[in-house]
C-alpha cells in the first residue's frame, strides 16, 4: 500500500469528528481513543483519530502525524471503501424490485 505524501488530514480531536456524542457507543470510542493517544501507543509524533464517512456513516480510523497533519495510515483504506461502495451498488442493481401483485 502506498501513501500519497501530498495527502494531508487535519488532526481534529475525536469529539469534533463524531456527530452524535450522546450515543453511548460514540462516548466509549472517544474515551478509548483519548486513552490510546494519552499512552502514546503509536508514538509521540502520531495521533489516532476516528471519523464517520459521509454517506455511509462507516467508521474510518486514521493515524496522522501530529505536527504536519499528514496521513500515515487509514483503515479501511480509500480503495477498500470504494470497492465496498461498488459492490453495494452492484448488489442493489442485481436485486429485483419488489412489486405488489
Provide the b/e sequence for 25-59 (b: ≥16 CB within 10 Å). Answer: ebeebbeebeeebeeeebeeebbbbbbeeeeeeee
Supply the pLDDT for residue 79: 93
Q: How would you write the pLDDT of the chain (101 residues) with one tens digit per residue?
A: 444 444 444 344 443 344 555 567 778 888 889 999 999 999 999 999 988 887 777 889 999 999 999 999 999 999 999 999 899 889 888 877 655 55
Q: What is the pTM of this model?
A: 0.62
Amino acid at each position: 500500500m502506498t501513501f500519497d505524501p501530498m495527502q494531508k488530514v487535519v488532526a481534529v480531536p475525536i469529539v469534533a469528528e463524531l456527530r452524535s456524542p450522546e450515543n453511548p457507543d460514540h462516548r466509549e470510542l472517544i474515551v478509548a481513543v483519548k486513552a490510546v493517544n494519552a499512552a502514546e501507543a503509536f508514538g509521540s509524533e502520531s495521533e489516532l483519530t476516528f471519523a464517520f464517512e459521509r454517506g455511509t456513516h462507516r467508521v474510518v480510523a486514521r493515524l496522522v502525524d501530529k505536527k504536519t497533519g499528514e496521513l500515515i495510515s487509514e483503515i479501511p483504506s480509500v480503495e477498500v471503501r470504494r470497492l465496498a461502495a461498488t459492490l453495494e451498488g452492484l448488489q442493489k442493481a442485481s436485486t429485483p424490485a419488489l412489486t405488489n401483485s
